[in-house]
Every structure is written in C-alpha cells, then in structure tokens.
Structure 1
Amino acid sequence: MRNKQALAGFFAAAALFAGVIVSAVGDGAAPDETSPQTVAANAADESKWPGRTPERGLVKGLSLPVEKYLVGYTDAVEWQRAQRDLWVSCMARFGFDKFSPPVPGVNPPAEFNDANMPRRYGASDAAQAAAYGYHLPPEQMDEPPVWEPAAGPEEAVFVGSGPGLSGGTYNGAAVPEGGCRGEAERQLGRLTQGEDASRVNASSMTESLQRPAVQKGIASWAACMKDKGYAYDSPFKPAESFNLSTPMASTEEIEVATADVACKSKTGLTATWYAEETAIQDQKIANKKTSLEAALAKTNTIKAAAQRVVSEDVNR
C-alpha cells in the first residue's frame, strides 16, 4: 500500500508520474469537450497536488539543496500529460479513436518529490497527526489505476509488435518502431531522476543520522516520548509500529503521533536535523556540481519539449 510505503522508510518513493497540467485554450475557440486532451485537462483537481515546499507543520517552507536537481511533481506531470497526448494522437492515426489511458493528475502523491519533506524526518504536522495519526489523509491513499492497452491490435500498435501487425504495418500503414509508445519517447525523451541527485538525496539522510547534533536531538526526543509513556529510540519507529493499511488510524496511533510531533517541536529535532542535512548536501553538491548541472540541463530540455506538446494540443 502506498500509504505504508510513504512512512516505513526514511522517505517515500514519490509517485511523480501520475499528474496533469491544466492549461487554458489560447485561441479563443471552443474546445472539443469530448476529445481525450480536453478530458485530461479537466479531470485533475490541482488543489490536491502537493506544493513545492510544505505549507504546514514543523517543515513549513523548508527545502533541501538537492531539490533543485530532483524531478518535481508539476514538471513530471506535464511530461506525463505530453506523453499521453502523443500516444492518443498516434493511436488515432491507426483508427483507435477511443484510445484513452488514465488521466494524469487524478491520484497525486503526498510529496512533491523524492525528498518527501513532509515526512522526511518522521511526522511533522500536528494537525494531521491529530486527525490521521501516521496515516495519509484519505484523498492521498487512493492508488493510481492499473492500466494497459487492450490485448490484440491495440496493444500491438501501441508497443510495435504482436497480433494484427503484418510486416510492421497495421491495415497497410507502417507502425513506428516501438509502436506509438516508442514514437512518443523519441519525440519527447524520458524524464528520469538523475543518479547523482538520487545518491545525494539518499546518502545525506544516512550520514545525517550519524551527526552528533542529530543523535543528541533524537535522544532528547526519545526522552520526551518516554515521559509521555512511549518507548521509541528512532523517530521512524512509531509509524512502523502501526498497521497503516487500515482505512483509519486507531485512537492509540493518533495519541502517539500527536506526542511524536509535540516532542519534535519541544526538542527542536526537526530544525536541527534539517540544518545538519543541508550542510551535508551543500558539500556533496559542490563535489558533484558538473554532473548535477548536466543532468539538470537534460531535464530542462525534456521539460521544454513537454511544454511545447501540451501547448500545441491545447491550441489545436
């Protein structure tokens, strides 16, 4: 379950590629309300999308240096929207006018990127803890739909091989190498997380746990929790002690989560931890500056291509 994954480790693997950017029609013409592009643009509720920086709790407004190099949600979802538009247009050339993969953006994750700041240092939002314990809010617990093209000709044209294709053609029309999926990837590129950015993001967390200031802060937090009747030696363990796959948090879970955030606030653990990890990341980024900037430039090129595709489809 995604809600359990979001809490069980140091930080969640962000589900970044399930969103959509809603754009306005630029030419003043009334759009085709039934077109796959228009349906996609109107289906997602942007108010439920995670912000670039946390807007509540102990980590309000905080971001780590590595986040400049991580793929953010709004960038990733625009790429997904562009990819979907290219798939739909390509499949329509072969007569699959009803081809309609799931609309991006309907099932946003809790985090903006893989830094997962809202829960990077464990629970950080007192109001959320009081309402949901360590569970995610209900709207963030929905899993994205599982989708694959229909077996037979549709799948064959989409992937470029299979029943219904003859000599690389479908009904006499040449199918692109790798099908419509391959054609879209060649046009758009693949938006992926840079390896160096991912390493900095993960290793800084591991190293920060060894910093004396963080260890002292965790010890103070643990003493505070003990005073409240809870024996934990790590801010990650309270969430792991509850079944987060249940629909709702238990009263005990809510009480522990509330105490957890209160003790972080009292001891200043979150602020200390963030400062130490920021210093670690600054040094790591300085050591990898050239490769990180090169990966960022590649990401920006792919983002620009996605923006062009979306703009062209909206104004078509």
Structure 2
Amino acid sequence: MTSSPHGILRTGVTLAVAALALSACSTGQRPADAAPEAAATTAAVRSAADPSSWTLPMQAYRPTAEQARTLARAEQKLVGRCLQEFGIPWKPAPELPPIGPKNMLDWRYGIHDAEMSAKFGYQVDPAQQARYDEALREADARPRLSDDQQLVLGGTDVPAELLRKVGPEARRGYYEGRRIPEGGCFGRARRTLGGSAQGVSPLVQRLTNESYPASMEDPLVKAVFARWSACMKAKGFAYPAPMAANDDPRFRPRSEGASRAEIDTALADIACRATHRVAEVWHAAEVRIQRASVARNATALAADRRALDASLREAADVLARP
C-alpha cells in the first residue's frame, strides 16, 4: 500500500511514487455526533508545507524523472529493433497521462494543498482520473501480440499460464527458427543498457522503502503525530496519526465525488499539519535515517550510482543512433 490518496490506490500508478511510502492503516473514526466543519471556513484554512520541492538523500542514487524517461525510451527502441529481427511489428504503449502527486515526495507525507482538498478531499482531481482511465482503456484496446510473440518479448519472464499456451517451437526457445534471447527482447535491451530496472538498484529501492516506516517510529515524529491527533480531536475528528485519516475506508473514490465529511476531515487534517509542522518534522526524521543508510552502504551505493551513470550514457547513445 502507498501513502497516496485513494484515487492513486485505485489506479495503481506508479511513479514512482508508489513503492516509496508504506502507510500504516488505521481504524480511527470521526465520532458520529461530531459537528462537521463549516464549508464557509475553507478559505481560512492555509495549506501546509509543500514537500514537492524537497529531496531525500537516496534520490542521489535514483534517476530523475527525465532520466527515467530517457532510459524507458532507449529500452523501447531496443525492444522494437529486437522484435523487428523476428518479424514482429510492435509499438510501445504511449506514456500514460500524469495523475496525482507531482513527484515522489509530493504526497509522501500526506495531503497539503487546502485549495485542492476543499474540492476533492483526499482524492485526485477527477479530470486527471478520467484522462488516466481513458488512456488505460485505449491501451487495453490495442492489438495484442500472440502468445508466442509475447514469449519473444519477455522470454520466460511471463505468467506460467502463458508458458502453457505457447507452441512447441516457442517452448523450446525459438520463434520462426530464431533463438529467443534470454529474457526475451526486454532482457536483451536491459542487458544492453546495463543497470537495474528503471535505473533503480534493489539496494536503493530497499533503503528508500525502509526509511518511510522507520521514520514513523522516530520519537520526534511520534510526538508531532500526537500533537496532530490532539489538534484533530479538538476539531471533532478522532485519528491516531495523519495517514489514518488519509486511509479512512469511508473515503473511497465515488462517482459523485468526495463527501462533505471527507472534505471537512481533509481540511482539518491540513490545518493541524500546518499548525504543528508535521511534514517538516517527518521529513527531517527520514532525512536522518537515509543519511545513516548512505553512510552504512557508501561503497555499494557509489557502485550503483556509477552503474546508473553508465546506463544513462548508453541510453543516450542508443537514442542518438538511427
């Protein structure tokens, strides 16, 4: 589960974003007799700090968003060439439209934009969601490769069900008399580019994932969560920690949009976050944790960074060639 609002959970986005922040779900509920925050107070709620401009130490070992796109474009080009050798026409699916957070830190510590939450609560902009859903439908409607061709694309890194359906030649590792590369055309492309999937090594991904739940155990973070919880209780909302409000099962995407209760909760959430500087304290704790991880793994992380830089140079060469 990610820490992003429920609209992102529904779409299964990724950015990134997604594997980076593990949230703790809660059964905290707003008391039934609590008076809702008046909609008229919306304008008085200031936004909390905006983490989208912040950084974390582990980002030094990850590709930027533009570098990740470069790696993806180079991989797609190599895959297309490989499939062409087998006589298989293929076009990569177009990039999906943006949805939800601006980057990996935007919603890592929860919502912060009062103007947005006054419209959508904890959800993404419905217009973004609609564009994203339509793009997924269009992608699903694209012509699909045959079972044997999918094996050429991904090698044996495909569902077991597909392996049972391919023909005898493909099962032996051949297609139209040609040997299928190990890992298929994707495997060959990744070996050419070197490095790890999406340019993020397993070590970097693991340390990035681990620092988020660890940060919530930091004494200063626990203390600021307690102050936030008391602030929310004073407003009529009972939650032990910020992401418990975000993950309230009542606040699921609905065709009619966010409920009044969800919007009131989100605005109270943001107001308490701003008052107690929740995101700032939380982020500072995660920075400390990641710096310690970098120090403990300095040699391995330096090697991962060199591998990423080599992959980026190779990707640039691939894209520069006709």
Fold match, TM over 0.5? Answer: yes
Q: Following the alignment from structure 1 to structure 2, what is the Cα–Cα distance between the partners of residues 280 and 179?
A: 39
1:156 touches 1:164 (CA, 8 Å); kept in 2? no
Contact between 2:218 and 2:285, CA under 8 Å: does it hold in 1? yes
Is 1:131 the counterpart of 2:125? The answer is no
Query: Tell me, what secondary structure is at the counterpart of 2:210?
Result: helix
Residue number in structure 2 paired with 1:121? 109
Deviation track 1:171-217 (CA, whole Å, cap 9, x = no partner) reads: 55555444433332332234353233233323333332233322221
1:236 alignment partner, SS class: helix
Aligned length: 268
Counterpart code for 1:163: G
Q: 1:232 to 1:83 in 2, by over 3 A?
A: same
Q: Which residue of 1 aligns with 2:41?
A: none
Q: Map 1:175-254 to 2 at 5 A.
A: 175-189=180-194, 190-191=196-197, 192-241=199-248, 242-247=250-255, 248-254=257-263
Q: Does 1:297 align with 2:288?
A: no
Query: Which moves more between the two structures, 232-241 or 209-218?
Result: 209-218
Q: Is the 8 A contact 1:7 1:239 kept in 2?
A: no
Q: List runs of 5+ in structure 2 lacking aligned partners.
A: 18-47, 157-165
Code of the residue aligned with 1:106 in structure 2: it is: L
* Distance 1:232-1:163 versus aligned 2 partners, 3 A rule: same
Which residue of the partner structure matches residue 26 of structure 2? none
Contact kept, 8 Å, 1:16 with 1:72, in 2: the verdict is no
Q: Unaligned regions of 5+ residues in structure 1, if any?
A: 18-55
Cα distance in 2 for partners of 1:163, 1:7 equals 37
Counterpart in the other structure of 1:256: 265
Identity %: 28
Q: Greater RCO between the two (CA within 8 Å, min separation 6)?
A: 2
TM-score by length of 1: 0.71
2:122/2:251 contact within 8 Å kept: no
Work out the CA distance in 2 between the residues paired with 1:177 and 1:211: 45
- Which of 73, 76, 81 aligns to 1:81? It is 73
Would you tell me which structure has more helix in proportion to its own residues? 2
Runs of 4+ in 1 over 6 A off after TM superposition: none
Structure 2 residue aligned with 1:4: 6
Residue deviations 1:64-106 (CA, integer Å, cap 9, x gap): 1122123443222222221211222222233334x22312x22
Q: Which amino acid aligns with 1:83?
A: E
CA contact (8 A) 1:164 1:170 kept: no
CA RMSD of superposed structures (Å): 3.3
Q: Structure 1: which amino acid aligns with 2:167? A: P
**Counterpart amino acid of residue 300 in structure 1:** D
Distance (Å, rounded) in 1 between the aligned partners of 2:232 and 2:306: 45
Shift of 1:234: 0.5
